[in-house]
């Protein structure tokens, strides 16, 4: 799957650089952390049939919408957000929201990422965090410590290595995303 995705991206870079840029910027950011999370939540609501589950998705969308409700004149000054500047510029251009400030869009991205992580860590029954074998838990802790160590040595190198792992995670999650959208569309029964 990674080889096919790489080949597709190389073709897009060659023949449609703007499309490649949109995919490269939006797939691991807005699409993965917000759209896919909302879709997983909606499919879960469909599976459970609980009204509160549907409301959680509606509240997620309403909370995200608050970042576009009024303009603020505060601009962010953190070095770590430089990665998101192209995403923010692309969102402003694609969605024709010229009155939205960078701060609002950075706020939305921060909210989307935070919610994405908290949502998955709260799903003990789905992910079975409580049943991870000790060897895997040790490996996770070692990778985490190694990542912190690499960041301490070189922020850029640490960022690039973890960006690669994050993109790999997004790519490997595609089958789950497609199954979730099929569930929502009603073409496949949820499992």
pLDDT in tens, 65-122: 776 665 444 444 555 566 667 777 777 777 666 666 777 777 777 788 777 777 776 6
Which runs of consecutive H residues, i.e. helices, occur in the chain? 2-15, 17-26, 37-48, 51-65, 85-94, 102-121, 124-127, 134-153, 155-172, 174-185
Distance between start and end Cα atoms, the chain: 23
Residue 168 included in any domain? no
pLDDT at 142 exceeding the cut of 90? yes
Give the dihedral of Cα atoms 153, 156, 159, 161; nearest 10 deg.
-80
Query: Does residue 45 lie in a domain region?
Result: yes
Contact 143, 164 (CB under 8 A): no
Give the total number of structural domains in the chain. 1
Distance in angstroms (rounded) separating the CA atoms of residues 60 and 43? 14
Q: Is residue 89 part of a domain?
A: yes
Place of tokens 């960041």: 151
Could you tell me if residue 147 is inside a domain? no
In which domain, by residue range, is 41 found? 2-130+173-185
Q: Is residue 139 part of a domain?
A: no
* pTM for this entry: 0.56
Q: Give domain status of residue 190, yes or no.
A: no
Q: Is residue 99 part of a domain?
A: yes
pLDDT of residue 171: 79
- Does 110 reside within a domain? yes
């Amino acid at each position: 799957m990674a080889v096919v995705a790489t080949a597709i991206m190389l073709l897009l870079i060659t023949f449609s650089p703007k499309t490649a840029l949109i995919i490269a910027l939006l797939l691991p950011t807005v699409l993965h952390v917000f759209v896919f999370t909302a879709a997983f939540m909606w499919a879960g609501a469909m599976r459970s049939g609980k009204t509160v589950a549907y409301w959680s998705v509606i509240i997620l969308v309403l909370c995200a919408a608050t970042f576009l409700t009024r303009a603020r004149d505060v601009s962010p000054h953190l070095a770590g957000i430089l990665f998101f500047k192209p995403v923010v510029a692309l969102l402003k251009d694609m969605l024709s929201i010229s009155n939205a400030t960078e701060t609002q869009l950075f706020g939305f991205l921060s909210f989307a990422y935070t919610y994405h992580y908290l949502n998955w860590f709260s799903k003990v029954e789905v992910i079975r965090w409580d049943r991870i074998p000790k060897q895997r838990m040790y490996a996770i802790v070692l990778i985490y410590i190694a990542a912190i160590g690499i960041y301490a040595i070189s922020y850029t190198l640490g960022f690039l290595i973890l960006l690669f792992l994050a993109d790999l995670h997004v790519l490997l999650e595609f089958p789950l995303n497609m199954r979730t959208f099929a569930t929502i569309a009603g073409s496949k029964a949820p499992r």
